[in-house]
Structure 1
Amino acid sequence: MKNLTFLLIGISILILSSCSDKRPVLNDIRSHKTPEHLNIGGTRLFIIPPRRFTIAEDFTGLSKDRDCNIRFDEAKGEKIRKIFSFYNEAAFKKQGKEILEAKKIKVNEYAGKFFVIKGKSEDSEILYLLFGDNSFSVIVSAEYRTDEKQTREEIYTALKSLYYDRDMSATLSALSVYSFSDDTYKFCERLGQFDVYTSDGNLKDAHSQEPVIMVTTLDHLENVELAKLAELNRLGMEQQGATAIQLSEISTDPIHNHETLSRKVSFTAEGFQKITYQAFIKKGEKVILVQGIVFEKDIDQLEEIRQFTNSIQLL
């Protein structure tokens, strides 16, 4: 009986120590898409999610809680070597970040880099997985607490299942609260907080000067006036370097009975004269911001963008 007790205690110790204090190892990823894989809406990325992670509502990715999440950013047409110039050891050190791990890595046939840096608190870490080629780039970042060893282990295991399907067309997130009945502009991809639409569903080089529509959802704004949001947006444009900002054609006509503030904004950015049609559309605690941006030569397309915006269906 005494020996059995020691045996049970030993097994318990093994179980409790199965999640090591040592950070998991992530080497070259060799993955295949399976029925268990989940597509990250707005991207061509697939992953088998960690346990208890759900699709995030306020960013592109997965979330367990406010201290533990995985974010995905894909940029079609953005060469990966350009991303490497921003995410590297020298850049992290310049920002005062403590680098815990840095190495080259591959995700199937794509070249990449992997970094782990110290998080905001003593018991947190942030990892960055970058990969791509001359036609696209992907940034995957994960934030977790080091004292939640099981969750950390599951995040690393999930990353080993990461798969990029370059042949598929990106689709809107299942959590999207809107759609458009007008198909003049087609969903292209998700960039940060914005769903991007272009005339053919492909985002070209910035120098192409093609019209682009960007849509985002702002949450928890039940008691915020649309005029206040619009003013904050204008101030944000100034902070990002826009000059000679002029507002015109301001309207409060509703769209499908939803409170709306729309306007035309002319501004100069990076030496070019641009015009944007903006519509702030309110539904409950959410505000959907639709903004179509054109260069001065395409100002006649603003009416087309306005009609596209009016076709919005709030779900």
Structure 2
Amino acid sequence: MKFKLIVLFISFNLFAQNNNYVNIKGTRLSIIPPKGFVAAENFVGLKKDEATGIQIMDLVGGNYDSNTATYTKETFEKNGITVLEFEELKVDGFKAKFSHFKGADNSERVNITFGDSTFSAMVTAIFPTSSRKTLFPEIKKTFLKIKYDKNLIIDPFASSAFKVDKNESKFKFAKASANMFIFSENGLDKVSFDDEPMVMISNLPFDESITKQKLFENLVNGLIEQGFVKKETKNVSEKSINGYDTIEAECYFEHKSEPKLAFVTILIKNNKVIVFYGMAKSKFQENIIEFKKLSNKLTIK
């Protein structure tokens, strides 16, 4: 079984060592790698083998409180997720939520989300259930010793696996964090995009053991885990975009008691995948037109 990345958020990176800690390039986070983990070549984080890895990202938009408002044991269990452990604590002085989930395909995930009023970050480990006794204690120990430097200057585009050709949509590049690139109306950079439409673009490695349809399902499930309640999926298309293997669909949700559109596009080239999320809470058809203007200008490096 290959290491499957479920959420929204991944990149090509190496890391720089500082004593026992390593800084994950493209992020402001440093970590002591568990034994046997090395720098991942096609996502932001560390890898032990094809079924075991740790992905790292700085979350963009909002802050710790807004990003974890629905991140509760009750929310996960309501959505059918088996929660093995859940606790609130502190990491490097920041508020944090630590969780351990039973996943599909005899796998498990350990997650820690932390931050303050200016940022939030997420670290997720995925490993086979058969490795729980040996890996879980070590991964938890590693996660609780994470360090984060808010003042560290990073180059987010150094690891980008895509580029945008001439972009005539209303969505322009606003900012990037780790492996997530944000495009907003007229490129306006805001702390939070709760009310305005926006686009998130990321890249991840392609796992040839799963289909693009299954990958799409995993991404939708990732939104559900973030508190989105799925209502309907419409206009699923597998028509190629720029010659790439493609799947695209309109996914309608309810989030925080309001309607929400996630316009999802996946582009695949060899071992690379570009994931495009167009998010809006109103004017859905108008925004879909603008989302497509941007998604159709993506090319994979």
Q: 2: CA distance between counterparts of 1:234 and 1:111?
A: 26
- Residue 74 of structure 1: how far off its partner (Å): 3.6
Q: What is the match of residue 46 of structure 2?
A: 62
Q: What is the match of residue 276 of structure 2?
A: 290
Q: 2: CA distance between counterparts of 1:263 and 1:154?
A: 35
Q: What is the match of residue 134 of structure 1?
A: 117
CA contact 2:249–2:265 (8 Å) conserved in 1: no
Q: Per the alignment, do residues 220 and 34 of structure 1 end up closer, same or farther by CA in structure 2, a change over 3 Å counting?
A: closer
CA contact 1:50–1:155 (8 Å) conserved in 2: no
- Residue 52 of structure 1: how far off its partner (Å): 4.4
- Residue 107 of structure 1: how far off its partner (Å): 0.7
Letter in 2 for 1:45: L
Q: How does 1:159-308 map to 2 (within 5 A)?
A: 160=145, 162-166=147-151, 168=153, 171=156, 174=159, 176-182=160-166, 184-189=172-177, 196-198=182-184, 199-202=187-190, 204-206=192-194, 208-217=195-204, 219-221=206-208, 240-243=229-232, 245-247=233-235, 252=239, 254-255=241-242, 258-261=243-246, 265=250, 267=252, 269-270=254-255, 271-272=258-259, 274=261, 276=263, 278-297=264-283, 299-308=285-294
Q: Per the alignment, do residues 302 and 96 of structure 1 end up closer, same or farther by CA in structure 2, a change over 3 Å counting?
A: closer
Q: Deviations over 1:44-94 (max 9, x none)?
A: 3233545642334676431223565434354342334874874679x99x9
Q: What is the match of residue 28 of structure 2?
A: 44
CA contact 2:29–2:146 (8 Å) conserved in 1: no
Letter in 2 for 1:281: L
- Residue 220 of structure 1: how far off its partner (Å): 3.4
Q: Per the alignment, do residues 134 and 170 of structure 1 end up closer, same or farther by CA in structure 2, a change over 3 Å counting?
A: farther
- Residue 252 of structure 1: how far off its partner (Å): 3.4
- Residue 133 of structure 1: how far off its partner (Å): 1.6
Number of aligned residue pairs: give it.
Answer: 263
Q: 1: CA distance between counterparts of 2:151 and 2:112?
A: 18
Q: How does 1:95-174 map to 2 (within 5 A)?
A: 104-108=89-93, 110-112=94-96, 129-142=112-125, 156=141, 160=145, 162-166=147-151, 168=153, 171=156, 174=159
Q: 1: CA distance between counterparts of 2:110 and 2:215?
A: 35
CA contact 1:40–1:46 (8 Å) conserved in 2: no
Identity of aligned residues (%): 18
Q: 1: CA distance between counterparts of 2:101 and 2:54?
A: 16
Q: Deviations over 1:119-156 (max 9, x none)?
A: 89xxx99866553222333344557858769x976984
Give the SS at the match of 1:305.
helix
Letter in 2 for 1:137: S
- Residue 102 of structure 1: how far off its partner (Å): 6.5
| Structure 2: gaps spanning 5 or more residues | 1-16
CA contact 1:190–1:196 (8 Å) conserved in 2: no
Give the SS at the match of 1:134.
coil
- TM-score for the superposition, normalised by structure 1: 0.55
CA contact 1:71–1:142 (8 Å) conserved in 2: yes
CA contact 2:54–2:124 (8 Å) conserved in 1: yes
- TM-score for the superposition, normalised by structure 2: 0.57
Letter in 2 for 1:136: F
Q: 1: CA distance between counterparts of 2:208 and 2:295?
A: 21
- Residue 282 of structure 1: how far off its partner (Å): 3.3
Give the SS at the match of 1:64.
strand
CA contact 1:179–1:312 (8 Å) conserved in 2: yes
- Structure with bigger gyration radius: 1
Q: Per the alignment, do residues 301 and 131 of structure 1 end up closer, same or farther by CA in structure 2, a change over 3 Å counting?
A: closer
Task: Say what the alpha-carbon RMSD is for the aligned residues.
Answer: 5.4
